Structure 1
Amino acid sequence: MKRTLILGGTAWLGRELARQLIRSGHEVTCLARGNSGEVAQGAQLVRADRSQPGAYEAVQGIEFDSVIELSYEPQWVHEALAALAATARHWTLVSSISVYASSQLPGAGEDAQLHDPSDPGDYGHAKVLAERASTAMVADRLLIARPGLLAGPGDPSDRFSYWVSRLALAGAGQVLIPPTAGRHVQVIDVRDAVAWIIDAAARSLTGTFNVAGTSHGFAQFLSTAARIAGFSGELVTAQDAWLRERQVNYWAGARSLPLWLALEDHGFAQRSNQRYALAGGPERDLEDLLGDVLADERARGLDRSRRAGLGRAEELELLGQLGRIRQG
């Protein structure tokens, strides 16, 4: 039986990693505070605060076939490497495509310029520092996985799931959208990303990979989501300047239109995934992903409070300001 240590493992991505590892017969240990939730059934939780001295004592000296690091805190990453690298046969750092300095070049690959990490408090900058520390310590057995937008059932960010759930909620009504020309959506199902990370570690794969799906035009994405949702209403476009004047935000968070990016950042959702695909990276159909996400959204409540997007009342108010209100 292979032994895997997940540094983290109690939040969405980490639990999926633990679930799939256990399903494939691994002995799984999760080292975490446990504040983000429970570990997957069958995993062992070692409670530890990584900001405190001695955080790794309970697992230090154990030979792990694989260690998977999820953190973006540079000090935690460095200290874990110092404590555990000597007895780890393979090391995976789950990084992010947020490490790239520019989002303006469509098709950019893993060799694109990274941020100069001048701000360790910034997520992308911190991941660059984590990559540097990992490369310095375990370059000969290191896999750096840079996921793009992760989606799937249970996604706590509410970004990808916003559109299919809103279209289902609106039914025959109206849905406010940004201009779609020149904009794209690029997503990878968390279940596919995790399956590949596990398989890559089992193969002792090393190197850096953008773990990303196919890039779809925003209009195509909305059309597919509308079909999956059974939406028969009207998509109402508001221009960028109009939306920004009314404090509607890009990408994510409260009062946003999720996945909408400034046009100058159009390369963000068009990263090259060729290296991932050539390394056996799976990618399920967009229709299947949207169907699974919608089923999950229906179970959670289409009208629930969300971490990303517009509330339906906010959206209807904006549609009213456009003079296009028709609730359906």
Structure 2
Amino acid sequence: MRILILGGTAFLSTEIARQAVSAGHDVTCLARGSTAEPPEGVRWLKADRSLGANSYTEVSGEWDAVIEVARDPALARDALTRLADHAGHWTFVSNCSVYADHSTPQAAEDADLLPPLPAGMASTPENYGESKSAIEQATMEAAGGKAHLCRAGLIGGPGDGTDRYGYWPARFARDNQPAVVPAITGHATQVIDVRDLAAWILDAADRGVTGPLNAVGDQVPFGDYVAASRSIAGYQGEVLTAPEEWLVNHGIDYWAGPDSLPLWLPPGHDGFSARSNGAARVAGLALRPWQETLKDTLDDERSRGLGRHRKAGLAPATEARLARELLANQPVRPSA
């Protein structure tokens, strides 16, 4: 295939480009490259898409597949205006954040969506879901009959820069000091390996898969994920299970960011990491065993440095402070 990737220098888009080149496709990436360059073997059109129509002056010819990863509706609309008529297939990598409700487990693609971000309103991290919803709407209007709306869940695996999925195995590998874990043993986690997602995006484009599909991993109980993380890391320390309310009262954040506990979700999010991937599996999505992703993630974490500053997770000093208080006050009994 002749493939145009609108991106190609970040986590997922880089993996898509790498796999596409390895498979023998003719791959072009349109990207600024401000922090990284596309993989070797890719034709790189260096352009700043914020410049609008001028960004596409070097883009020519017909494309078997165009893959869009934007989060800004203005950028996505410009690309659709310029390229939709020249693409045999169009993939928009959306996100499950487009859904209006995250409380219902096993929700499928027919669940209600957030209203699209109004035209002219700036896209921000706070309106991420509405921004992706607006791009979905624009994509269907311009390329609906050939568009795949790939609604990704949390993406993990080697190279993940968000530090969420890798926090727990890296934490247990870092040292044997007491580890603080939220009391959410039975809560679902749901992560898709970046390599599996990239492979499916390319396969779906090649086969002409269309429509909205939840590109999410299988559900794994948090307790199983933590136990496996401890095992592969060889952790021999004490695990202190902390009640959710206690953590909130001590200023610990959900999900991501400094002094957070990754994969711990706020109330009302029982379905956030428990969406159905049945339709995507029928459409060809193949997932490797989650334990393989976990092992490879820890290998990647080790190579990047277990003691590095992280974007998500507890700082060692914060965890030590929480552990001292848990042990002193014994709100819960430590688990082995």
Shift of 1:84: 0.6
The match for 2:89 is 90
Secondary structure of 1:77's aligned partner: helix
The match for 2:139 is 134
Amino acid at match of 2:159: G
State whether structure 2 residue 234 is matched by structure 1 residue 230: yes
Secondary structure of 1:78's aligned partner: helix
The match for 1:58 is 58
State whether structure 2 residue 264 is matched by structure 1 residue 260: yes
Shift of 1:181: 4.3
Secondary structure of 2:50's aligned partner: coil
Distance 1:181 1:98 in 2: 24
The match for 1:285 is 289
Conserved? CA contact 1:149–1:212, under 8 Å: yes
Normalising by structure 1, report the TM-score: 0.95
Shift of 1:223: 1.1
Conserved? CA contact 1:250–1:260, under 8 Å: yes
1:54-75 per-position Cα deviation (integer Å, ceiling 9, x unaligned) = 111110x411110000101001
Secondary structure of 1:322's aligned partner: helix
State whether structure 2 residue 15 is matched by structure 1 residue 10: no
Conserved? CA contact 1:147–1:210, under 8 Å: yes
The match for 1:43 is 42
State whether structure 2 residue 183 is matched by structure 1 residue 179: yes
Conserved? CA contact 2:117–2:131, under 8 Å: no
Shift of 1:324: 5.5
Distance 1:301 1:181 in 2: 28
Conserved? CA contact 1:183–1:263, under 8 Å: no
Matches within 5 A, 1:285-324: 285-323=289-327
Shift of 1:8: 0.8
State whether structure 2 residue 268 is matched by structure 1 residue 239: no
Conserved? CA contact 2:116–2:137, under 8 Å: no
Distance 1:308 1:222 in 2: 16
Shift of 1:237: 1.2
Normalising by structure 2, report the TM-score: 0.93
Conserved? CA contact 1:108–1:272, under 8 Å: yes
Shift of 1:234: 2.1
Distance 1:19 1:276 in 2: 22
1:306-327 per-position Cα deviation (integer Å, ceiling 9, x unaligned) = 111111121111111223699x
Distance 2:62 2:117 in 1: 35
Amino acid at match of 1:161: G
Distance 1:266 1:233 in 2: 30
Shift of 1:246: 1.8
Conserved? CA contact 1:193–1:211, under 8 Å: yes
Distance 1:207 1:90 in 2: 11
Amino acid at match of 2:94: S
Distance 1:78 1:248 in 2: 39
RMSD (Å), alpha carbons:
1.5
The match for 1:212 is 216
Matches within 5 A, 1:99-138: 99-118=98-117, 120-121=123-124, 122-138=127-143
Deviates more, 1:138-147 or 1:223-232: 223-232
Distance 2:34 2:257 in 1: 22
Amino acid at match of 2:248: R
Unaligned runs of 5+ residues in structure 1 are: none
| Structure 2 CA distance for partners of 1:68 and 1:324, relative to 1, 3 Å | farther
Amino acid at match of 2:57: E
Distance 1:276 1:177 in 2: 32
Distance 2:208 2:117 in 1: 32
Conserved? CA contact 1:182–1:263, under 8 Å: no
Shift of 1:261: 0.4
Amino acid at match of 1:141: K
1:70-126 per-position Cα deviation (integer Å, ceiling 9, x unaligned) = 101001111100001111111000000110111100000011001123574311110
Deviates more, 1:113-122 or 1:290-299: 113-122
Runs of 4+ in structure 1 deviating by more than 4 angstroms, as ranges, are none
Secondary structure of 2:113's aligned partner: coil
Question: How many percent of aligned residue pairs carry the same amino acid?
Answer: 44
Conserved? CA contact 1:189–1:289, under 8 Å: yes
Amino acid at match of 1:208: P
Distance 1:284 1:36 in 2: 30
The match for 1:161 is 166
